[in-house]
Amino acid sequence: MTALISTDHITLVDLLRMSTDPSISPPTCPDHIWDSLLDEATTHRVLPLLHPWLTAPQFDHTLSPLLRTRLKQTMTEMTARNLLLTSELCAIVKEFDRHGIPCIPIRGPALAQQLYHDPFVRPAEDLDLLVYRHDLPAVAAILIQQGYRSVEHRWGFLETFSYSLEFVHWNSGLYIEPHWSLVYPPYVRTVDMAPVWTRAVRQQIAGVHMLGLGLIDLVIHLCVHLLHRGDQIPLLWFYELDRLLREKEGDMDWDQFVRVAHTMQQGRLVAQALSKVIEHCGTPVPPSLYALLASSSHPSSLPAIDLLLTNGQVNGREEFAALWALQGLRLKFRYILGLLFPSPEFMLRRYRLSSHSSLMLYYPLRVMSLLWEGTIWGFRLANVVASSQNSQPK
């Protein structure tokens, strides 16, 4: 059965939908259109999901030999990377278990296993693990023993102000981020992760038993993570939330989902994320869900920040929201100093610089950029506060 769709308006969402039905053959397109679609699929990290369908024996006429060769090479590189990530994940989990340190893999191979029953199929850049905050010293010691070194703005900056540490392996260049929270600044200090650990489930990845996020916590985390990246959101993240909600529709307790989202002070953010997913993928959710998430009986500790974070996208919104929420001038000054003038190693990685000589240019550029974004953010915050006050009944 051939897909009845105009090749002039074909999208990656169309291809992903068609690829789930083995009776539907890929549309017939000129090479230049397939070339563009493959580029787009790589950028949006969905190429591995389309690969089995595009290369199925019954559809071997879909791509030209040149495009098939290119696709094979790209997939070989992705698979090698995913094998490395999965192998390292299993090794780290085993090492943590040996030291009695619980951890929950989030996203990466763990999400691939939960969604596709294959840890190697999902492109990932690094490994993310949820750990207890009190275990951070032991976690850092184990990772350093395994060949990793810490990367951060300044010593102690991430543990004081962020939601995760960051380590890079000296040989492979692989990054591992131990998180102690599923939410992002400025909510990290106010959200209790104990219930998340209680709702954790058992799973098996590449033959290794480990913990996994419960369904509600997984969906909430994927929603806030989607907004965490601002406008730089790959289609993969929309597709995975859509697929997860479709497959688990019968298992989801929406009443509890709303309660947990509000308890975590993430109701407005989750509502915004789900509206974006619905816009892209037409995801079926209860009609009243958005209103229930957007209006909460739970008083927020940061009401103005809540409104601002859900009112469009502003570069650096989390950094400035975290600054606003900090208590005390000394803490604020330390945060600003680390934000404006991070370590040279952080700068080299953040801006992909090849030499220290470039830092003389990039430090001033960073300062000017953050000051400009901070000014915009301040005006937006003032407008939100003023609008909120004007809308209150007198």
Domain positions in the chain are 98-295, 343-391
- Of 95, 97, 62, 55, the residue nearest 76 (C-alpha): 55
Three-class DSSP labels, 291-310: HHHHCCCCCCCCHHHHHHHC
How many Cα atoms occupy the beta-carbon half-sphere of 353 within 13 Å? 16
Contact 166/152 with Cβ under 8 angstroms? yes
Question: What is the CATH number that goes with domain 98-295?
Answer: 3.30.460.40
pTM: 0.87
Sequence-distant (6+) residues with CB within 8 A of 329 are: none
Which helix (H) or strand (E) segment is 18 a member of?
helix 12-19
pLDDT in tens, the chain (394 residues): 333 333 445 788 889 989 988 889 998 888 889 999 999 999 999 999 999 999 998 888 889 999 999 999 999 999 999 999 999 999 999 999 999 999 999 999 999 999 999 998 898 889 999 999 999 999 999 999 999 999 877 778 888 888 999 999 988 889 999 999 999 988 888 899 999 999 999 999 999 999 999 999 999 999 999 988 777 789 999 999 999 999 999 999 999 999 999 999 899 889 989 999 999 899 999 999 989 998 865 555 566 666 666 555 444 467 787 887 788 899 999 999 999 999 888 888 888 898 999 999 999 999 999 999 888 878 877 777 677 666 655 5
Please tell me the distance from the alpha carbon of residue 329 to that of residue 384, in angstroms, as a whole number. 24
DSSP state of 285: -
φ/ψ of residue 129, rounded to 5: -130, 135
The Cβ of residue 270 has, within 10 Å, a number of other Cβ atoms equal to 28
| Both structure tokens of 342 | 């991070």
Question: CA distances (Å), 176 to each of 146, 164, 224, 244, 310, in order?
Answer: 12, 10, 20, 25, 29
Residue recorded with tokens 């954790």: 200
Which amino acid is present at 264? M
Please tell me the distance from the alpha carbon of residue 148 to that of residue 165, in angstroms, as a whole number. 12
Q: Strand 208-212 vs strand 175-179: parallel, antiparallel, or unpaired?
A: unpaired
Contact 226/276 with Cβ under 8 angstroms? yes
Question: CA distances (Å), 25 to each of 12, 30, 44, in order?
Answer: 15, 15, 22
Report residue 47 CA to chain centroid gap.
18
Which amino acid is present at 190? T
Q: Strand 175-179 vs strand 167-169: parallel, antiparallel, or unpaired?
A: antiparallel
Residue recorded with tokens 């959710």: 285
Asked if residue 137 has a cis previous peptide bond (ω within 30° of 0), the answer is: no
**What is the pLDDT, as a whole number, of residue 169?**
93
| Radius of gyration for the alpha carbons in the chain, expressed in angstroms and rounded | 22
